[in-house]
Amino acid sequence: MAMETITWVKGQVKLIDQTLLPGKLKYIYCKDVKTLWEAIKRLSVRGAPALGVAAAFGVLLGLKKFKGKDSAKFVKHVADVCDYIGTSRPTAVNLFAALEEMKASAVMHRDCSVTEITKYLKKTAMAIYDEDRRVCRTMGKFGATLIRSGQNVLTVCNAGALATVDFGTALGVFYSAKAQRKKFKVYACETRPLLQGARLTTWELLRGGIDTTLICDNMAATVMKQGKVDAIFTGADRVAANGDSANKIGTYSLAVLAKYHKIPFYIVAPRSTFDLSIKSGQEIPIEERDKSEVINFQNQSTAPKQVKVYNPAFDVTDAKLITAIVTEHGIIKPPFRQNIKNVFK
Ligand code: MRU
């Protein structure tokens, strides 16, 4: 079910403030790069592909500060803006891939005027945006072949329209399966501590008319043991060259449970989420977030303030636990190192 999560409107970035969902559907307009950086940091905009687009649009916002006509200084300014945006969140590689594309676009046109370089940068940012819309729909079609009518599937976090420009990766598979009139049910894990599954995934799946049941994260094992899950679909924030995949904390435990219960475990991720410069998931930087996210819930304390907290936002699922990775180039099966290389060569 398409919805506009992030768009470029008259020199501003318009995005859904996801911290307010499901209570309020409200948009934020970012006029400057600092406002956008803060929106990324507090997860008003989130999800790997959406972060890539936010980063590209953020560079456009950052151009406004530059005064003058010196192209070399302008290209350096673009690099500085990219470095700044890169400090917002470390795990989703889409953010860094988009910044690299923007930097490369500026460098490639360094002999042009500042006005012309600006036009090329806008074109590059819009191409990143358009590509996300296209690849999500293609992944959806490939992934839908893995769902049969009558099945129950399970997902975690939010890998939907809200995590992309407007369609989703894992949830895009569900939207495509529904468009093909397949009948299936979705279990959504609530995804502590920030409840992306409860707040965002159930919200958008219900809007899309998909039969959705919310479970607490610690119920997943029981639901699998009861034979209620036929397949698991999740997104990813970074996939290493060997197929190890980082995604929202809790994904790894689902994959371990899936193996034990002999349930297929699928990752749905576009080429822009693959980081072929790293050999394995050990090299993926894992974001650690503030303890306040764990010891508070809706402004109520859930633990003593002085307690120590460990709050990694992501975990890495070993490639050997993954049945297949759905991409816009097709479905990649093991052995992943070789097959990823073949598909993206
Ligand atoms: O911390 P978040 O909400 O940005 O984490 C998002 C996820 O882990 C998603 O599952 C992932 O980015 C895939 S989105 C298509």
Whose C-alpha lies nearest to ligand 1, atom 15? 159
CA of 92 to the centre of ligand 1 (A): 8
Q: Mind listing the pLDDT tens digit for each residue in 180-235? A: 999 999 999 999 999 999 999 999 999 999 999 999 999 999 999 999 999 999 99
Split into its structural domains, the chain has a count of 2
Which is catalytic among the residues 132, 166, 217, 237?
237
- Does one domain contain both 185 and 77? no
Q: Please indicate whether residue 237, judged by its CB atom, sits closer than 6 Å to ligand 1.
A: yes
Average pLDDT, the chain: 97
Whether residues 169 and 257 share a domain: the answer is yes
Q: Which domain holds residue 48?
A: 6-137
Among this protein's residues, is 217 annotated catalytic? no
Q: Are 114 and 69 in contact (CB under 8 A)?
A: yes
* Residue 290: CATH number of its domain: 3.40.50.10470
Q: 76 with 199, same domain?
A: no
Q: Read off the tokens for 7.
A: 């768009």
Instruction: Judge whether 10 lies within some domain.
Output: yes
Question: How many whole angstroms separate alpha carbon 294 and alpha carbon 341?
Answer: 39
- How far is residue 267's CA from residue 282's CA, in Å, rounded to a whole number? 18
d(CA 331, CA 66): 44
Least confident of 2-11, 160-169, 284-293, 327-336: 2-11
**257 & 154 share domain:** yes
Question: Among 111, 137, 163, which residue terminates a domain?
Answer: 137
Identify whether residues 182 and 46 lie together within a single domain: no
Q: Which pLDDT does position 107 carry in this prediction?
A: 98
The band of 298, judged by pLDDT with boundaries at 50, 70 and 90, is confident
Is residue 15 situated within a structural domain? yes
pTM assigned to the model: 0.97
* Residue 103 structure tokens: 């930097």
The answer to whether 8 touches 127, Cβ cutoff 8 Å, is no
Q: Does the pLDDT value for residue 254 go beyond 60?
A: yes
Residue located via tokens 């449970």? 257
Two tokens, residue 158: 């939010």
Q: Is the pLDDT of residue 333 over 80?
A: yes
Over pLDDT 70: what percentage of the chain? 99
Between CA 117 and CA 122 the distance in angstroms is 9
**Residue 204 in domain:** yes
Give every CB contact of residue 328 below 8 A, 6+ residues apart in sequence: 134, 135, 138, 139, 142, 270, 271
Would the CB of 235 count as within 6 Å of ligand 1? yes
Binned at pLDDT 50, 70 and 90, residue 3 comes out as confident
Indicate whether 269 and 126 sit together in one domain.
Answer: no
Q: Is residue 1 pLDDT above 80, yes or no? A: no
Instruction: Please state the atom number of ligand 1 nearest to the C-alpha of residue 46.
Output: 4
Let me know if residue 200 belongs to a domain: yes
Q: What does the block give as tokens for 111?
A: 């002999």
pLDDT of residue 299: 84
Residues 28 and 56 in one domain: yes
My answer on whether 169 and 286 are in the same domain is: yes
| Residue finishing a domain among 87, 117, 137 | 137
Residue 131 is inside which H or E element, if any?
helix 114-144
Q: Which residues pair with 215 in a beta bridge?
A: 189
Q: Is residue 1 part of a domain?
A: no
Give the model's pLDDT for residue 2.
61
| Structure confidence at residue 141 (pLDDT) | 98
- At 69, the pLDDT band (50, 70, 90 cuts) reads very high
Question: Which phi and psi angles does 81 have, rounded to 5°?
Answer: -65, -40
CATH number of the domain within which 36 lies: 1.20.120.420
Q: How far is the CA of 317 from the centre of ligand 1 (A)?
A: 14
Q: What is the pLDDT of residue 297?
A: 86
Among 122, 137, 152, identify where a domain stops: 137
Contacts of 335 (CB under 8 A, 6+ apart): none
Compute the distance from residue 66 Cα to the ligand 1 centre, in Å.
32
In DSSP notation, 202-219 reads HHHHHHTT--EEEE-GGG
d(CA 311, CA 290): 7
Q: Are residues 21 and 90 in the same domain?
A: yes
